[in-house]
Every structure is written in C-alpha cells, then in structure tokens.
Amino acid sequence: MIYPYKKGYAAYVWVTKPDGKRARKYAYGKTREEVHEKWLALHAEAKKRPVATRHRTLSAFLAYWLDSIVKPNLAPLSYVSYEGYVRPYIAPYLGTKRLDKVTVRDVREWLTKLATVCQCCAQGKDAKREVSRRKCCAVGDCCESYPSRRVVQGSRDALRAALTHAVMEEEISKNVASFVKVPKPRRRRIKPWSVAEAGRFLADAAARDDRLFAAWVLVLCLGLRCGEVLGLTWKSVDFERGELYVDHQIQRAGRQILHRETKTQDSDDFLPLPALCLKALRLRRAQQTSDRKAAGELWQGSHDLIFTTKYGTPIEPGNMTRMFALRARRAELRVIPLRNTRHTCSSLLVALKVHPKVAQRILRHSQIAMTMEVYAEASEEQVRAAIGQLSDAMGGTG
C-alpha cells in the first residue's frame, strides 16, 4: 500500500532481518511511481536474502570490522596495516556515508581525490609540530605530500576487505569497492648480488667478527626472511642432524615486537644446514655465551633467541635491514634490499656443493627442474673463487 507521507509518498514491505526477526522496511519518494518502483525492488530483495532495516555509517562499520573481525582473527601486523589505511585515508572521506548508500561512483571519486590531496595538510602533520619547527603546510607552504600509488591501492584493498565482510553479514548486497580498479604500482627491479658479491660480503663480515655474521649466512645460504632469521631459537637447530626448523618470526606491530608463528603452516619446514651454516651457528653460540656472562643480571633473554642484542633482547627487523645496508657499504658493495637476496642464495648453494635434491628443499621449489635450471646457470669458477675468499676469512673452513 502506497500512502501520502510528508511532501511525498511512502510504502513498506515486511522483511526478515539478518537476526531472523520480521520487521517493516520502508521506501520513500516524491511521486507514487518512484515509491512503487522502490517497493517492487524491495519485494524482490526480500525474497532473495535477509534485509537490514537500519544501517550504520561506514565509519561505524569499519570500527566494528577492525575490532571484532580483524583484531581477533588476523595477525597483529594485518590489524596495524588495515587500521593504518582506515584511519587516515578512508574514514575522513567516506566515513559519514551510510553503509548501504556507498556507491561505485563514490569509491571511484574518493580514490581520485585521495591521490591529489596533500596528506601533510589533511592529517595536520606539520601543524602537530612545535610552532618553531613548522616548515611547510602549517605556515602556508604546502609540501605536496601526495599518497603514492601503493597507498591508494592499499586503501582500496582495505575498503574492499571490509565490505566483503559486510556482504557476508548481509548488511549490504554487493561489494562496490571490488568494481573499482586502480593502477598497480610498478616495482623497481633490483639486480641481486652475484655469488662473488655475496662472498665478499660474508668474507668482510667474518673478518670483522660481525655479531650478525651467522644471520647473514642464513639469509644468503638458506633464503630466509629477515623476521624468520630473528625468530629462530636454539631449539630450532639440530647440530647433530644438521637441520634447522623454521616456525617462528619476529615482527614489529605498532609499538610491539612480537615473537610469533610464521604466517602459514606451509612456511614451517625442516631445512638442511650446509657446513658453512653450522660453523657460523656454532660461532654465534659461543659469542652469545660470552655476551650473557658480560651482561650478568642485565641479561633479558626470555625466548632463547639465537640473534639478540648484547643484553638478550630481540633485534628490531627494521634495525637488521638497516645494518645489512651499512655492512654492504662497509664491504664496498652496491646496496640491495635484504629481501632481494633469495636469488643469490640459490647460486651460493651451488658453490657449497649442496646436492640438488637438498637445494630443492632449501629453495622450496615444487619441481626439481627449477632447481636444476639454477645449477645450470651458475658459473663454477666464479662461485669457487667466492667461497675460497670466504673460507680464508673464516680460518680455512670449507
């Protein structure tokens, strides 16, 4: 039934809400024809699925999603990442809109605008500084700190993830963010180190008695990630069988440093340890024993970590990344990101005479053919010379 309402017309349909209860859902419009069309659409929707009669704002839903869905079910780093997109980039622009009223056009216009708004101005970064230290936006000289393509894409992905849960909980019928495409940021390709360069790096670290020498060996020879290396405990190492079990990592999540399980169960594995790795780990154990004696009561090693500060506390992943760059400069090598050492790892395994089947396990290749391609590419003379330098630096150990 359509009836006059205020300056137009209204009608209602009995619907089943997401909680299973029955309630009226109203449709409004300026003309009978407009209300009739909305009434028919509402009838069709009510036959397909439960219909919410009240809708919160997007900001309210995002707060609920972060606290009730993301925080208890995903990794702490995922929560920090999503919250870092929601708070400064999504809520200020779309937060006041009703959840069910956000359209594809709204999302597209938001992303277009986001890419052209100086975030120093929008977030008041310069205004938060002391008056004497203000230097750009707060004094009328915009620094044009626009979000990168990666930030724009991450913001869209965060909104899409949140709206996916809204669809699952039947608060909305479709995910409008999934219909908006954004240009993918181009990744700059960085040439990895050759075996000769990796050998120079390790030889320099060994000659200087670098406290993180064993960590660099594991990164370069086993292809471990920074967090995985820092998360290793002495229980992870079996010196008799020559194996390393990787199942934990160190992560920085907001203001916390966490020692937690690796991202997926597939990341957990027993890795064979080449002789060079075993030698480096034994050196590290002796070094840590010396540190513990020197620190005395100040020692704080509660997790039995292999790589710690002089007082037994975990090493920040960011600090290890910076130290890797500093060590590379010290060895007069071109600086590459720590994460770009995996390709070098495969060539080093050739140099260490690691059997292809063992290398396949270390590199986590699904097919032995992939490993054999790596072995075929490696230059025998080059890798032998590099390992010879490293062997000399470690006192003639192979």
Q: CB of 239 within 8 A of CB of 246?
A: no
Residue 293: is it exposed, middle or buried by C-beta count within 10 angstroms (0-12/13-18/19+)? exposed
Sheet holding 22-29, edge to edge: 3-5, 8-16, 22-29
AA identity, residue 269: D
Q: CA 306, CA 97: separation in Å to the nearest integer? A: 51
**Displacement of CA 388 from its chain's centroid (Å):** 37
DSSP state of 123: T
Q: What integer pLDDT is reported at residue 90 of this predicted model?
A: 96
Domains in the chain (CATH in brackets) are: 3-48 (no CATH), 58-179 (1.10.150.130), 195-393 (1.10.443.10)
Distance between CA atoms of residues 278 and 274, nearest Å: 7
pLDDT at 397: 45
Give strand ranges (E) for 30-130: none
Q: Where does residue 341 rank: exposed (0-12), middle (13-18), buried (19+ CB within 10 A)?
A: buried
Q: Tens digit of pLDDT per residue, the chain (398 long)?
A: 788 888 899 888 888 877 678 888 888 889 999 989 888 988 888 888 777 766 789 999 999 999 999 999 988 888 999 999 999 999 999 999 999 889 999 999 999 999 999 999 999 999 999 999 999 999 999 999 999 999 999 999 999 999 999 998 878 889 999 999 998 877 777 787 887 888 889 999 998 889 999 999 998 888 888 888 999 999 989 999 888 888 888 888 777 787 777 765 544 567 888 888 899 999 999 999 999 999 888 888 767 899 999 998 999 999 999 999 999 999 999 998 888 887 777 767 766 677 777 777 666 666 777 667 666 555 555 555 555 555 555 554 44
> In the prediction, which pLDDT does 263 show?
61
Q: Across the beta sheet with 243-246, what order do the strands follow?
A: 237-238, 243-246, 269-272
Q: Model pTM greater than 0.95?
A: no
What's the gap between Cα 102 and its chain centre?
A: 28
Whether 238 and 362 have beta carbons less than 8 Å apart is answered as no
pLDDT value of residue 394: 56
pLDDT value for 378: 54
Q: Rounded to whole angstroms, how far apart are CA atoms 386 and 382?
A: 6
d(CA 72, CA 169): 17
